[in-house]
Every structure is written in structure tokens, then in C-alpha cells.
Amino acid sequence: MQLLKFIQQPWHWSVSGLLIGLTVPVLLILGNKVFGISSSLRHICAACFPANITFFKYDWKKESWNLFFAAGILLGAFIAGHYLQDGQDTQVAAATRERLASYGIHDYRALLPPEIFSWQQLFTWKGLIFFVIGGFMIGFGTRYAGGCTSGHSIMGLSNLQWPSLVATVCFMAGGFASANLFIPLIFKWLH
């Protein structure tokens, strides 16, 4: 029971950052594996839809470890979300709460605000913008950049790859622009 209470307490962000950062050398040492999550979708498509598409013509079985890695992430998230919550609302800074309140977000019981990310919002303008358009932009950006944030910002930077530095700077600039320019405009337009 003490271990469960220890796991359930709020942890400093640096703990997860350290563990994710240690994943890179472990993968390299264990078999020269590259850390990245977006490639899992490519492996799934290559395995499940063997079509005559050049992008999916490769030996996906050599990369099947990545599918187990991604499945472990999903399983860990499920366990943490359903069995390790302490029952308290997500801790959000006062200034952030004030800003989110101006967007109509007041529910902090979950990691994602249900005022945006819920089944009820799926077929509304918010759902169209955040789920459909946002999902498309993330997928397109991942493919255009040749990888996702974990692949570039964690693996690529640790290997001193110039394209990963450019991609990471663009990811950060896009995140700042979205949070400070686009999201306020979208919520202003929706209200």
C-alpha cells in the first residue's frame, strides 16, 4: 500500500524527462534501435494493409519491437489513468486556470478538458477543429518533418542531427504560436 501511495503522489516533471532521456542510450545499446512513436503507425499499416504502395514495402517485422514499445505506452497510460489516480483534480496554475476560464474550460477532473475533448464535442465545431483538423495537421506535420517530436527532439537531438534541431525549433515555434495566437482566436470565434 505504501508503494501505491508513493506512485500516486504528484511527481516532478524532471523524473519522467530523465527516464525518457535514458530510453535513448538503452535502445542504442540494446540493438541500435531508434526511439520514435510515429513510425508505429507505418508499421501497423504495412502489416495490416499489404498493398502495392512503395512507402509500405519494407520488412516491418524487423521493427516489430517498436509496436510492443508503443503498446507498452498505451498499457501504461491505461493503468495510470484508471488505477493510479489519486481522485483529485489535475493541478493547474492559477494564471492558467484564469486563462482557460476565459475559453470556457472549468473542469479539471481529467488530463484533457472535457469541454473540448469528449464524445459530446466530437460532432461540434470544436470537435471538427481540434479532432479532425488538428489531427490532420499533426499527422501531416509528422510525415512532412520525417518524424514526430519524440523521434526528433529526443533521439535526433541526442545524436546531434541538424534536421532534428530544425524540426524541434519548428515544433516549439508552432506550439507557442498555437497556444498564444491560434487557440485564443479559435475560442473567440467559437463564442
- pLDDT at residue 74 in the model: 92
CA angle 116, 149, 175 (to 5 degrees): 50
The C-alpha cell of 3 is what?
Answer: 508503494
Q: Are residues 141 and 81 in the same domain?
A: no
Q: Is pLDDT above 80 for 10?
A: no
- Distance between CA atoms of residues 90 and 6, nearest Å: 17
Q: What's this model's pTM, rounded to 2 decimal places?
A: 0.74
Q: Are residues 49 and 128 in the same domain?
A: no
- In single-letter form, the type of residue at position 44 comes to I
Q: Which residues constitute the domain of residue 129?
A: 116-191
Q: Tell me the pLDDT tens digit for each residue of 106-124.
A: 888 877 888 888 888 888 8
Domain tally, the chain: 2
Q: Tell me the pLDDT tens digit for each residue of 43-63.
A: 888 888 877 888 888 888 888
Instruction: Report CA torsion sign: 113, 119, 122, 123.
Output: negative
The answer to whether residue 55 is domain-embedded is: yes
Q: Are residues 72 and 137 in the same domain?
A: no
Looking at 69, 85, 101, the residue that finishes a domain is 85
- pLDDT at residue 27 in the model: 86
